[in-house]
Amino acid sequence: AWATLIGGILFITVEYGLRGRPSRDQVSWVAALAIGAAQLLAAVFPGTSRSGATILLGLCLGVSRPVATEFSFLLGIPTLLAAGLVQGHSALKDPTQHTDLAMLLLGSAVAATVAFAVVRWILGYVRKHDFVPFGLYRIALGLGMLLFVH
């Protein structure tokens, strides 16, 4: 809940802080390494959004909103694919689980198709809009989770 709330505040702060500043439509090697390292925040701090951390750092490094978003999603492909392969391999090797390979492949294909459509929509959205509404959503969700838990 706290990571969601703080992430929302950071999205709004970064958007307002960077207004009027020029941005680049390319990611330098230095920025790429820094953005890649930002993924560690999600591993170290539970609840931190991997894509949120990488997009925010990209914006702070002067990368344009659409390019930072696209780079973040592309950066996640190897990580998510590797995690899926490890879990799939474990499920197929475990004799106590009855894994239907056809259903596993169908589910993966549907998930990939939906993910592609959503990423395409988000990239179109960030070409015309900023992340302030997303930040407000995260703040509301984070506050809601905190109220629910306490």
Q: Are 1 and 149 in contact (CB under 8 A)?
A: yes
Residue 94, pLDDT > 80, answer: no
Once rounded to an integer, what is the mean pLDDT over residues 97-120?
Answer: 85
CA distance 15 to 99: 45
pTM over 0.75: yes
- For residue 63, what are its two tokens? 């990368």
CA distance 113 to 129: 24
For residue 125, give its domain range.
Answer: 2-149
Residue 108, pLDDT > 90, answer: no
- For residue 89, what are its two tokens? 């391999």
Q: How many structural domains does the chain have?
A: 1
